[in-house]
Amino acid sequence: MGKIMSFAIEPQLQEKLKSHAKSKGISASQCVRELIEKFVMDDDTIVPVVLKVPVELKGDKEALEQWLEVRKSAIVEKLST
């Protein structure tokens, strides 16, 4: 067993965390440990890029392609400077 840590989060985020952990079949604590491990043990040879795609684009190939094209251009611009 490791050290015990304490931190505060908003109630809505706590509910989302508990719901996500339950859907994965793990405890909220285990979920937090895994997220922290990914964050601090990240590979320095890669640049992570996270896209949060609006749910209304799901199933709409044309709108999704347009949305992604704008983001792709922004990512290329940011990473090439």
What is the model's pLDDT at position 59? 95
What is the model's pLDDT at position 37? 85
What is the model's pLDDT at position 46? 79
Specify whether 8 is located in the same domain as 37: yes
Domain containing 12 equals 1-43
Residue 56's region, left for phi above 0, alpha for psi from -120 to 50, else beta, is alpha
Specify whether 35 is located in the same domain as 56: no
Q: pLDDT in tens for each of the 81 residues of the chain? A: 678 989 999 999 999 999 999 999 999 999 999 988 887 876 777 788 889 999 999 999 999 999 999 999 999 999 998
Residues 6+ apart with CB under 8 A from 51: 68, 71
Q: Are 43 and 29 in contact (CB under 8 A)?
A: no
Specify whether 31 is located in the same domain as 69: no
The predicted model scores a pTM of: 0.51
